[in-house]
Amino acid sequence: MTDKRLLIIGPNGIGKSNLLEAVELLGSLRSHRCSSDQDLIQWDQPQALIRAKANEHEILELELRRKGGRQARRNGKSLSRQLDLIGPLRCVGFSALDLDLVRGEPALRRQWLDRVVMQLEPIYADLTSRYKKLLRHRSHLWKQWRHQPAQQRDSLLDAFDVQMALVSTRIHRRRRRALKRLEPLAAQWQSWLSQGQEQLQLSYLPGSHLEGDEAEEPWRLAIESQLLAQRSEEERLGSCRVGPHRDEIGLLLNGNGARRFGSAGQQRSLVLALKLAELELVSELCGEPPLLLLDDVLAELDPRRQKMLLDAVGEKHQCLISTTHLEGFQTEWQQGSQIIEAGSLISSADVG
Amino acid sequence: MGQCQTCFHFSADPLCEICRDQKRNQGLLCVVADSRDLLALERTREYRGFYHVLGGLISPMDGIGPEVLQISSLVQRVDHDDISEVILALTPSVEGDTTSLYLARLLKPFTKVTRIAYGLPVGSELEYADEVTLTRALEGRRAME
């Protein structure tokens, strides 16, 4: 990829998104589309390999195995931790899923925030995957040990409470901090997009009851007692009532909830403001502008917002863009772009 | 191959070589998930107590509860024998930590319970940890709350 913008055009199902997803995986070790590696490997194959030349002297590789486990390599050398792959290929993705960031379920906003925290602190991935696992074990525990002696079940739940309280504290703290850094950036973009008409506020609404500042010990103990207190309700409803899996991010435009009261246009602009804030924060952090992945999303934006996105991204970021058709594309986006038909791309995709 | 009737390590005899060794420290008991972990610890030559092999870790997701592991036999051992310290050497995964916390509460009325410190890289399995790391982890063990 030599030009500022690479525009990949082709019909659905030809592998455009796969290519962008592969870049995203190498850059962030995550896919916005799937949470399990199983779904990233071709169905009849035992493993998948992504290899890319990130720059003059760096070749990155990530191998996914169906049995589980990943192996990362840098210039052919195996890395003991896949986290060490993060760095040379920073990227920020923007896909059709993100268009629901404002209107959609809280889970979408948590995922967005988590992607940002991941870029700030790669180790965060360990925390979230640990937390997910704890939640899964916990729900199985209720199902299987429902008829077991309560004493044994309760001692097991105690063991989970202790771990969940600690991991939850660390997740809450990181999400809150990241949101604090994002807020001024997003507010500035929102103001720019609305020509000064709209003032944005982001608020962190944690799924645990947290008081005071980020002191680890008080938060941990508070969450532990909340977990204990909700057990009978948890048994009745079949899901844990406390923790970061119930976090919400409040979006206020001029003091009103944007999710319910914002117009369609305001919501679209807000999505853009949130993504631009993410892009800016990640740039600031890694010292160089990250690669922007626009997966099937540009043609979904109206001409005015396309233009604004282009102005904001400018010549600073390299963009990888996928689309099924060029209609609806502002011509400015096509200028200076290398345009590739997806069919021809597949044959040369493995050299990246 | 069978199992030792005392510690549940691989053994052809009813009592394994380690459990027969009179020169070992009678008061120390190290709890591991399986025989491979035991062998990794033996290679350090640092630890001279006895072992107890659980046969796995608590994992509700996989249907593994305390009752399918060698936990009641462990409690019996700690209750009957004169053991001054139980060292939990379980891998620091969610399942390992769950098992450690569960065991710590169960055993605390009988004896002092410690766990090997996390000099271990996060996410690494005990089996792959090198001997230096394991030795350091053993030295740095601390009491569980």
Domain coordinates in residue numbering, chain A: 99-287
Beta carbon pairs, A and B, within 8 Å:
54
The answer to whether residues A299 and A98 touch, using CB atoms and an 8 Å cutoff, is: no
With a threshold of 0.95, tell me whether the complex ipTM lies above it.
no
Tokens coding B132: 């230096």
Mean pLDDT, chain A, as a whole number?
Answer: 86
Residue-wise DSSP of A237-305: HSS--SSGGG-EEEEEETTEEHHHH--HHHHHHHHHHHHHHHHHHHHHHHSSPPEEEEES-GGGS-HHH
Q: What is the pLDDT of residue A343?
A: 67
Q: Which residues of B touch A140 (CB under 8 A)?
A: 60-61, 63
Query: Topology of B24-117+128-139 in CATH?
Result: Dna Topoisomerase Vi A Subunit; Chain: A, domain 2 (3.40.1360)
Which tens digits make up the pLDDT trace of A309-337? 888 887 788 888 888 888 777 788 787 78
The confidence band for B122, taking pLDDT boundaries of 50, 70 and 90, is very low
Q: What is the pLDDT of residue B133?
A: 59
Q: What is the pLDDT of residue B126?
A: 54
Residue B123 pLDDT greater than 70, yes or no: no
Q: From the candidates A162, A166, A240, which should be mutated to test the interface with B, based on the most B CB atoms within 10 A?
A: A162
Q: What is the pLDDT of residue A348?
A: 41
> Would you mind telling me the total number of residues written for chain A in this entry?
352
Query: Topology of A99-287 in CATH?
Result: Glutathione S-transferase Yfyf (Class Pi); Chain A, domain 2 (1.20.1050)
Q: What is the pLDDT of residue B142?
A: 67
Residue A148 pLDDT greater than 80, yes or no: no
Is the CB of B60 inside 8 Å of chain A's CB atoms?
Answer: yes
Which tens digits make up the pLDDT trace of A58-78? 888 888 888 878 888 988 888
Q: Which residues of A touch B95 (CB under 8 A)?
A: 137
Pairwise CA distance, residues A245 & A247, whole Å: 6
The confidence band for A93, taking pLDDT boundaries of 50, 70 and 90, is confident
Q: Which of B97, B99, B122 sits opposite A126 (nearest CB)?
A: B122
* Mean per-residue pLDDT, A11-38: 80
Which tens digits make up the pLDDT trace of B49-93? 999 999 999 999 999 999 999 999 999 999 999 999 999 999 888
The confidence band for A9, taking pLDDT boundaries of 50, 70 and 90, is confident
